[in-house]
């Protein structure tokens, strides 16, 4: 018999209470946080959808693997298990552990880039972009045009625009030290990249003599999308597809806080001996010895176990379905979201939902803050605050103003997700009363993490009471 309901493929062995607050408490907490939800105390949040990064629940097998951690400074047994699992998965010769994804990015880019270089990607994630720009290089987004239209349905909106990539390599190839693709494409809505597109990007890069690197944070979700949507791939296992994805590339950066199913960790992996040596030398300077790279032995054990579990089909089926379930509820009620739903998150098109708030008054922040005050749900702006500041200090509207509801792995049940949907719909019903914000103070890089905001006063012309004459 085949059942329609896709259930959580686990039972719960240990629970953590969440705190209920009332609206005045949340308003006070948000004011004290400078209207930036990154600055809230997590305990003042009821459902935390800020990120899916490092917020997942580890399995009993992962918790027990912690006890096997070998904390030797050099040559730890846990490193060799970690290395073996990563090598089997990716096929890359060199595996360099890092404390999280951005450390892998920093080491890779500091080793391979010089000022004036350019790194193409479908869409760079914020830390990837910042780590490229800090080297004086340009982070170029070359996602297909369909990937820039939130409501448009396309099975692989994370695909790289092959024509644009070829033109770039022809015209500025001397300044392109590597080509990247992010799977799935977080900044573009958690959208997958097809196997055909990955093959074509790898071919193009190699034809021009460039290495091809994956930003592989959500490789397992991407592999499952390929299985479900790429014609001819439905009979393959997610593991077989992931193997092929990695083997098209020359290396990858990886944050184990996503599809490593761990709370911390990452790695940089590659085939080239020379780059690997230079990267390891830099690793020793800032992260640690090459067999621990800023992680404890027990972290390496948890990641090794997580990388095995993440490719299990019941897990991936539930993971993608629970995200889609939230998306369906919002879309059915008319809330504009990036379609189709991505793997790890639902992205609300805040620019479309709040047309009365211009991009430079941050409609995403207005929506994020309303969701928190209304329901205690924490989400995140992915828009003009995150991407609008140019290296020269000027500010422009980002390509999209999105609000991301990122779903931690194996943490929330269907009733939590029903509550989130109800909260979004309550805010959406009253959306014309939401106001924009202005920035009071902000850092020059990655400003969204620490900026302070102030709500803009209501526009007297718009909000004047109706005349009674």
Ligand X SMILES: Cc1ncc(COP(=O)(O)O)c(C=O)c1O
Report the C-alpha gap between 361 and 366 in whole angstroms.
9
- Smallest separation, CB 457 to ligand X (Å): 34
CA contacts within 13 A on the Cβ side of 265: 29
Residue 384 sits in the site that holds ligand X (CB under 6 A): no
| Consecutive H or E run containing 126 | helix 126-133
Nearer to ligand X, 65 or 256 (CB): 256
Near ligand X in 207-246, by CB under 6 A: 215, 217
Triad 372, 374, 380: Cα angle to 5°: 25
Closest distance of CB 297 from ligand X, Å:
19
Residues between 256 and 315 with contacts to ligand X, criterion CB under 6 A? 257, 266
Q: Which ranges constitute the DSSP H helices of 249-292?
A: 273-286
Least distance to ligand X from the beta carbon of 158, Å?
A: 10
Distances (CA, A) of 240 to 182, 215, 219, 235: 19, 19, 12, 10
Q: Among 125, 156, 315, 347, indicate the residue that binds ligand X (CB under 6 A).
A: 125
Tell me, rounded to whole angstroms, the distance of Cα 459 from its chain centroid: 35
Rounded to whole angstroms, the Cα distance separating 131 from 80 reads 29
Write down the least CB distance from residue 95 to ligand X, Å. Answer: 16
> Smallest gap, in angstroms, from Cβ of residue 339 to ligand X?
20
Pattern 51-80, binding to ligand X, x per CB under 6 A? --x---------------------------
- Among candidate residues 456, 460, 454, the one with its CA nearest the CA of residue 358: 456
Segment (H or E) for 330:
helix 313-332
Which residues, 389 to 448, sit near ligand X by CB under 6 A?
A: none
354/435 Cα distance (integer angstroms): 9
In the complex, which residue's CB is closest to ligand X? 101
Q: Would you say 283 and 292 are in contact if contact means Cβ atoms under 8 Å apart?
A: no
Distance CA 41, CA 200 (A): 45
What's the rounded Cα separation, in Å, for the pair 259 and 214?
14
In the complex, minimum distance from the CB of residue 145 to ligand X, in angstroms, rounded to a whole number: 21
In terms of CB distance, is 48 or 215 closer to ligand X? 215
Among the listed residues 55, 78, 90, 127, the single contact to ligand X using CB under 6 A:
127
- Closest to ligand X by CB, 256 vs 357, is 256
Query: At 440, which helix (H) or strand (E)?
Result: strand 437-441
Which one of the spans 34-42, 122-130, 198-206, 314-322 is the region binding ligand X (CB under 6 A)? 122-130
For 7, residues 6+ apart whose C-beta sits below 8 A from its C-beta are 318
**Interface stretch with ligand X, choices 72-80, 95-103, 196-204, 454-462 (CB under 6 A):** 95-103
Q: Which is nearer to ligand X, 101 or 290 (CB)?
A: 101
Minimum CB separation from ligand X for residue 99, in Å? 8
Cβ-contact 107, 282 below 8 angstroms: yes
Q: Which of residues 161-200 bind ligand X (CB under 6 A)?
A: 182, 186
> Minimal distance in Å, beta carbon 374 to ligand X?
26
441: how many CB neighbours lie within 10 A of its CB?
10
107 vs 427, which CB is nearer to ligand X?
107
Q: Of 193 and 427, which CB lies nearer to ligand X in the complex structure?
A: 193
Stretch that binds ligand X, among 64-72, 94-102, 165-173, 425-433 (CB under 6 A): 94-102
Q: How many angstroms separate the CA atoms of 314 and 73, rounded?
A: 37
Site residues for ligand X per CB under 6 A: 53, 100-102, 125, 127-128, 182, 186, 215, 217, 255, 257, 266
């Amino acid at each position: 018999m085949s059942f329609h309901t896709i259930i959580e493929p686990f039972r719960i062995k240990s629970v953590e209470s969440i705190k209920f607050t009332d609206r005045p408490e949340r308003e006070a907490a948000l004011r004290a946080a400078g209207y930036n939800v990154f600055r809230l105390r997590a305990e003042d949040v009821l459902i935390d959808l800020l990120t899916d990064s490092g917020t997942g629940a580890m399995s009993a097998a992962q918790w027990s693997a912690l006890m096997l951690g070998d904390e030797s400074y050099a040559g730890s047994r846990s490193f060799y298990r970690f290395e073996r699992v990563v090598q089997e998965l990716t096929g890359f010769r060199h595996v360099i552990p890092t404390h999280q994804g951005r450390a892998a990015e920093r080491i890779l880019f500091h080793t391979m880039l010089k000022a004036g270089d350019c790194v193409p990607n479908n869409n760079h994630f914020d830390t990837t972009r910042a780590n490229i720009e800090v080297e004086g290089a340009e982070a170029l987004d070359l996602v297909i045009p369909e990937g820039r239209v939130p409501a448009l349905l396309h099975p692989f909106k994370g695909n790289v625009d092959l024509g644009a990539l070829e033109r770039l390599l022809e015209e500025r190839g001397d300044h392109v030290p590597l080509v990247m693709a992010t799977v799935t494409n977080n900044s573009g809505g958690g959208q997958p990249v097809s196997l055909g597109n990955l093959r074509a990007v790898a071919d193009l890069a190699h034809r021009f003599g460039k290495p091809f690197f994956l930003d592989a944070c959500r490789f397992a979700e991407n592999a499952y999308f390929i299985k479900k949507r790429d014609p001819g791939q439905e009979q393959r296992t997610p593991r077989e597809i992931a193997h092929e994805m990695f083997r098209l590339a020359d290396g990858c950066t990886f944050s184990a806080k996503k599809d490593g199913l761990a709370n911390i960790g990452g790695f940089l992996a590659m085939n080239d001996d020379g780059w690997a040596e230079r990267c390891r030398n830099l690793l020793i300077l800032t992260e640690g010895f090459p067999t621990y790279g800023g992680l404890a032995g027990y972290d390496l054990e948890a990641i090794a176990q997580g990388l095995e579990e993440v490719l299990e089909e019941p897990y991936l089926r539930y993971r993608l379905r629970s995200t889609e379930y939230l998306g369906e509820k919002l879309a059915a009620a008319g809330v504009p979201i990036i379609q189709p739903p991505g793997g790890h998150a639902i992205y609300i098109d805040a620019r479309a939902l709040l047309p009365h708030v211009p991009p430079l008054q941050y409609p995403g922040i207005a929506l994020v803050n309303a969701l928190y005050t209304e329901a205690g749900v924490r989400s995140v702006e992915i828009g003009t605050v995150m991407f609008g500041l140019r290296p020269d200090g000027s500010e422009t509207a980002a390509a999209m103003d999105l609000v991301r509801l990122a779903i931690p792995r194996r943490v929330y049940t269907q009733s939590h997700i029903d509550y989130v949907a109800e909260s979004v719909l309550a805010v959406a019903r009253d959306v014309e009363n939401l106001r924009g914000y202005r920035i009071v103070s902000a850092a020059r890089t990655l400003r969204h993490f620490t900026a302070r905001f102030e709500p803009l006063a209501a526009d007297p012309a718009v909000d004047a009471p109706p005349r009674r004459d």
